[in-house]
Amino acid sequence: MDKEKALSNLGEEELVHKGNAYLKKGNLQLATLHFSVALAKNPKSAPACTGIGQVLLAKGEFSKARDAFAKGLEHDENYRPALLGMAMAYRKQGDPEAAVVHLEKARAAGPDDIEVLTEMAVTYDALGQELLAEPLYTRVIELKPHKASGYNNLGFNYLLQGRYSEAIATFSKAMSLETPSIMMRNNLAAAYVLNGQDENALRLFEKTVGKASAYNNIGYIHMTQGNWDLAEKAFIQALELNPTYYARAQDNLDRLYRYRMSMRSGE
């Protein structure tokens, strides 16, 4: 109560600004408090409604998040953060078509908004429209050429298109721009496997998950591609390295054998 009383002395704009700062840090409780006080001051505040929506989105409460974003859009139908939030909620609920509708409105309001461009590209990827996503990722890179995430996203798009050599080059560029995260290393490793360069993949996976798990990851990727012999070889290598602990490789190997049996019975 004392905190709310102290916050009541702040203006709406400052409350929203502080709420967004707490949201960025992952402190959802304080973010909610600041947005709620802002709404008490101005029930028609699109930024405050959007802030509440972002908190709910972070909690995985997608339907409630959409309700909050919708309230923000009632007060400002072109408020870009609310349109973006609504699109993200729809995509996370498995409705990318509805997400695109809101993203088109958001892009009309801000053609070079990097967050909107990225979310639109991710949504097109989810729809299986990788060729529509590619130029959006490319535009993000043009706007922020020194940001690794743009190259990482484009590299993943190349993976979806089956352009593995280009994916390798693009992931490598991302890793040259900042200290590589585990996700970056794993993305590049997956591209190497898909491009038939298992040894390069092994070195990368090994740095993040250890050698036994590295072989298991390689085997799993081969299995998803129908490369049964290569998958079997990798799973067996994982088990030889760690037969007692590494049960996951055995599970994958058993699954591989079941796949083969089902395919033969269907011939």
Is 184 within a domain?
Answer: no
Whether 249 and 215 have beta carbons less than 8 Å apart is answered as: yes
pLDDT of residue 127: 95
* Structure-block tokens of residue 146: 């020194």
Q: Give the end of a domain, one of 106, 138, 161.
A: 106
Is 37 within a domain?
Answer: yes
Closest CA to 32 of 2, 5, 53: 53
Confidence band of 259 (pLDDT split at 50, 70, 90): confident
Instruction: Give dist(CA 26, CA 58) in Å, integer.
Output: 9
- Count CB atoms within 10 A of the CB of residue 29: 8
CATH of the domain at 233: 1.25.40.10
Is 5 within a domain?
Answer: yes
One-letter amino acid for residue 211 of the chain? K
SS3 180: coil
Taking CA atoms, 233 is separated from 132, 141, 250, in Å, by: 37, 39, 12
Taking CA atoms, 106 is separated from 28, 55, 220, in Å, by: 25, 20, 39
Q: Give the end of a domain, one of 91, 106, 121.
A: 106
Is 170 within a domain?
Answer: no
- Count CB atoms within 10 A of the CB of residue 246: 20
Q: Give the end of a domain, one of 106, 140, 167.
A: 106
Give residue 232's domain range: 210-267
Confidence band of 2 (pLDDT split at 50, 70, 90): low
Q: Report helix angle 46-59 to 12-25, nearest 10.
A: 20
Is 246 within a domain?
Answer: yes
pLDDT, tens digit, for every residue of 80-138?
A: 999 999 999 999 999 999 999 999 999 998 999 999 999 999 999 999 999 999 999 99
Is 77 within a domain?
Answer: yes
One-letter amino acid for residue 35 of the chain? F
Instruction: Give dist(CA 87, CA 75) in Å, integer.
Output: 18
Confidence band of 185 (pLDDT split at 50, 70, 90): very high
Is 196 within a domain?
Answer: no
pLDDT of residue 76: 95
Q: Is the pLDDT of residue 5 over 70?
A: no
* Structure-block tokens of residue 117: 């461009």
Is 180 within a domain?
Answer: no
Whether 45 and 36 have beta carbons less than 8 Å apart is answered as: no
pLDDT of residue 167: 98
The average pLDDT across 1-19 equals 80
pLDDT, tens digit, for every residue of 57-81?
A: 999 999 999 999 999 999 999 999 9
Number of domains comprising the chain: 2
